Chains A and B, each alone.
Chain A
Amino acid sequence: MNRVAVLGAGQTHHASKRTDVSIAGLVREAIERALADARLEPADLDAVVLGTAPDFFEGIMQPEQWLAGALGAVGKPLIRMHTAGSVGGSTAVAAAAHVGSGLFERVLAIAFEKHSESDALWGLSPRSPFGRAFGAGAGAFFAPACRLYMERTGAPPEIGPRLAVKARANALRNPYAHVRKATTLDEVLDSPMLWDPLRRLECCPTSDGAAAMVLGSERAARGRTDAAWVRGAAAMAEAAEIPGRDLGDPDVGRACAAHVYRQAGIADPARELDVAEIYEPFSWIEAMWYENLGFAESGWRFFDEGATEPGGALPVNPSGGVLCTNPIGASGMIRMVEAAQHVRGRIDGGHQVDGARLALGHAYGGASNYVAMMVFGSEP
């Protein structure tokens, strides 16, 4: 594959309700910021890759068709991605593949969600055609995996709440974050159980938001000193229904991580990565991904030692992560945007990891059976 550069990236200000814009206006806010960051015009783009959650989330069928004008995609190749919650990540991976193929010079990746247009928990709780439906959002799906992790590892029960405190403290420095509120451990512990063992403040919000990236070829990046380079990129899937799968440690996550680390020449991710943005819709999930992504044998201990706090050996989610901002379709791309901007030194707000040269962006979705990961470097 040819080399791929990140020429620019942007995101909206995220909120529970962005009623000041339509969906079209929301995606344009992210695109305009990414194009301005890339010093490019819509006419410079050769193709557009759009990602979002299922159409039921906004009740608009085939939004990629309706949005073609807003995306500046009229007369250009336009495709839509969907890989459950990982879609923002896999959309960026697909756009990178477009450029890497050599067929396109500059490709726009755009992902969005406007959760406020419907009941997000309804969208995540499909009714069954064969009797009662017991599902109750993503929390009902992942809380049992969190309970298993707690039982299996014997981790102290406050690890999850402390991870939530970290996310909320980090988001205070991120001007785009949805939830920006200083939160104490007691406040997390005192918040009601929504999906026991997960408390309200250990769960992601539902947000309106969008994120965009402009990816370009080596030629398109010529003369630019502020490009990030895609050093590794992969999106993978596995069957959800294989008995005995651990939703908190799926094989596909380990396989995808090994793949992108190999592409990027990374042997020891915890030592070599300068920052990671990972997809943690629930507090405990973050510790579980530390293990799945090969950061540490024990995820909760890695956190407990302070390794992933700002200034630690491997800061994780200095943006505040999905726990503070969750427009589902865009949440994966926000991870990629943040990771790329760290190595470009272009983080807006106070959470820049100074001198970051290598960053991981990660997203997962479905029954942990979809993953998408990218490694960005300051050098090709």
Chain B
Amino acid sequence: MSEPFVSRFEVEAPFAHSTGAAMGRWLGELRARRIMGRRCSSCGLVVVPAYEHCDSCGGELGEWRAIGPGGTVRAVTATQGRTLAAVRLDGADVDLIHVVEAGVERGARVRPKWTREPAGAITDVERFERGEPADDDDAPGPAEPVAFVRAHLRLPFDLSAGALASRFFDGIRDGRIHGNRCPSCARVYVPPRGSCSACWVECRDWIEVSDHGVLETFVIVNVPFYGQQVEIPYVLGSIRLDGADSAFLHLVAGPRRPAIGLRVRAVWREERTGFLSEDVDRFEAE
């Protein structure tokens, strides 16, 4: 048996987080180079950033007021080449966590260094640096609320298929489809499974099944979405191969209209990856 197969793949998608009235205004003020705080109607703390609620007591936030922009470093740490600090802005009762100039120590007075092209994001403050804020070297403009915070997440994974699936892939590369049998209920799983979920016993018998089978049921997919890998419309069938008890989903195409109970056969591609979803291009009527 070859080494277990490891798949490198990535989950990724765009997101648009709506800010709501409070965070939308807070980010808008930031874009206009003003750091705003909000006083909690319940506990009286002046908090920053300003959500709809007080993160300390859960109460409603009320009055808005400009805070800072100067502040005092209350705690500091260095990580991955950057220095992070808890900055207590003048007039606030909670700390804002942000990047600070390297070498800044606890107790230091700091002021924001604004980015040249503010976008309505926390990064409009590039970092806090040593010193007191200048009187007004760059007058704040009017604030327009920010509606969305946009992000594109990318999460790469190295997923090991394990010995069982790797052996299944080896068979697919040879154009052969395998399953395994539960020693208790005798059901045959295709693709194979480590254990029978119904009986809670290990499946051991390795058996080859046919690449012909029956279309148990199907759907015609005609809806687009982000990241879709098959061109719509397409027929997605639940296919149970001869000799198997379990069914799997695969594409069904060909001249015959799909119907429940239709006899189908695998149409193999020349080029092989070991994946049933790739090496079998589709199922067609026999």
Instruction: Write the B158-193 contact mask toward A (1 if CB under 8 angstroms, else 0).
Output: 010100010001000000000000000001010001
**Given A24-B52, A74-B56, A121-B226: A129 and B245 within 8 A (CB)?**
no
Could you say which residues of chain B place their CB within 8 Å of the CB of A74? 55-58
B250 engages A134 (CB within 8 Å): yes
The distance in angstroms between the C-alpha atoms of A69 and B57, with both chains bound, is 7
B246 engages A131 (CB within 8 Å): no
Instruction: Write the A42-71 contact mask toward B (1 if CB under 8 angstroms, else 0).
Output: 100000000000001011100000001111
A263 at the interface (CB under 8 A from B): no
B217 at the interface (CB under 8 A from A): yes
Which A-chain residue is minimally distant from B238 (CB atoms)? A144
B19 engages A22 (CB within 8 Å): yes
A151 engages B18 (CB within 8 Å): no
B273 engages A243 (CB within 8 Å): no
B53 engages A131 (CB within 8 Å): no
The SS class assigned to the B binding surface is: mixed
Could you say which residues of chain A place their CB within 8 Å of the CB of B2? none
Which B-chain residue is minimally distant from A128 (CB atoms)? B277
Contact residue among A22, A71, A114 (Cβ-Cβ distance under 8 Å from B23):
A22
Could you say which residues of chain B place their CB within 8 Å of the CB of A197? 219
- Find residues 130-149 in chain A having any chain B CB closer than 8 Å to their own CB: 130-137, 139-140, 143-145, 147-148
B276 engages A131 (CB within 8 Å): yes
Size of the B side of the interface (Cβ < 8 Å), in residues, is 70
Which A-chain residue is minimally distant from B261 (CB atoms)? A151
The distance in angstroms between the C-alpha atoms of A193 and B157, with both chains bound, is 35
Size of the A side of the interface (Cβ < 8 Å), in residues, is 63
Contact residue among B198, B228, B247, B250 (Cβ-Cβ distance under 8 Å from A136):
B228
Could you say which residues of chain A place their CB within 8 Å of the CB of B21? 20-21, 25
A147 engages B218 (CB within 8 Å): yes
A196 at the interface (CB under 8 A from B): yes
Taking each of A17, A136, A241, which has the highest tally of chain B beta carbons within 10 Å of its own beta carbon?
A136
The distance in angstroms between the C-alpha atoms of A123 and B18, with both chains bound, is 18
Contact residue among B157, B244, B249, B251 (Cβ-Cβ distance under 8 Å from A129):
B157
Could you say which residues of chain A place their CB within 8 Å of the CB of B107? none
**Given A137-B223, A144-B219, A192-B222: A129 and B20 within 8 A (CB)?**
no
Could you say which residues of chain B place their CB within 8 Å of the CB of A241? 189, 193, 197, 246
Could you say which residues of chain A place their CB within 8 Å of the CB of B157? 129
Could you say which residues of chain A place their CB within 8 Å of the CB of B229? 127, 132-134
**Given A129-B159, A242-B197: A20 and B20 within 8 A (CB)?**
yes
A239 at the interface (CB under 8 A from B): yes
A136 engages B246 (CB within 8 Å): no
B51 at the interface (CB under 8 A from A): yes
Min CB–CB distance B170 → chain A (angstroms): 13
A242 engages B198 (CB within 8 Å): yes
B35 at the interface (CB under 8 A from A): no
**Given A119-B13, A121-B226, A127-B9: A195 and B246 within 8 A (CB)?**
no
The SS class assigned to the A binding surface is: loop
Could you say which residues of chain A place their CB within 8 Å of the CB of B20? 19-22, 24-25
**Given A21-B52, A59-B17, A117-B18: A129 and B219 within 8 A (CB)?**
no
The distance in angstroms between the C-alpha atoms of A60 and B151, with both chains bound, is 10
B7 engages A69 (CB within 8 Å): no
Could you say which residues of chain B place their CB within 8 Å of the CB of A56? 11, 13, 153
Min CB–CB distance A202 → chain B (angstroms): 13
A59 engages B52 (CB within 8 Å): no
A24 engages B51 (CB within 8 Å): yes
B220 at the interface (CB under 8 A from A): yes
The distance in angstroms between the C-alpha atoms of A18 and B238, with both chains bound, is 37
A125 at the interface (CB under 8 A from B): yes
Could you say which residues of chain B place their CB within 8 Å of the CB of A126? 11
Could you say which residues of chain A place their CB within 8 Å of the CB of B216? 144, 148
**Given A59-B153, A74-B56, A132-B278: A22 and B17 within 8 A (CB)?**
yes
A195 engages B221 (CB within 8 Å): yes
**Given A239-B198, A243-B187: A134 and B151 within 8 A (CB)?**
no
**Given A28-B52, A194-B223: A145 and B217 within 8 A (CB)?**
yes
A59 engages B151 (CB within 8 Å): yes
B134 at the interface (CB under 8 A from A): no
B121 at the interface (CB under 8 A from A): no
Taking each of B56, B187, B197, B232, which has the highest tally of chain A beta carbons within 10 Å of its own beta carbon?
B197
Could you say which residues of chain B place their CB within 8 Å of the CB of A69? 51, 53-56, 58
A147 engages B260 (CB within 8 Å): yes
B14 at the interface (CB under 8 A from A): yes
Which B-chain residue is minimally distant from A124 (CB atoms)? B225
Min CB–CB distance A136 → chain B (angstroms): 4
B125 at the interface (CB under 8 A from A): no
Could you say which residues of chain A place their CB within 8 Å of the CB of B147? 19
**Given A25-B20, A140-B219, A144-B218: A119 and B52 within 8 A (CB)?**
no
Q: Can you list 10 contacts pairing A with B, beta carbon distance less than 8 Å?
A: A118-B13, A121-B223, A121-B226, A122-B225, A125-B228, A140-B219, A144-B217, A145-B217, A147-B260, A243-B246
- Other than the given A72-B58, A134-B234, 19 more pairs (CB < 8 A) read A18-B18, A19-B20, A22-B51, A22-B52, A25-B22, A56-B153, A58-B15, A58-B17, A59-B151, A73-B58, A117-B15, A122-B227, A132-B229, A134-B249, A144-B219, A193-B222, A195-B220, A198-B219, A241-B189
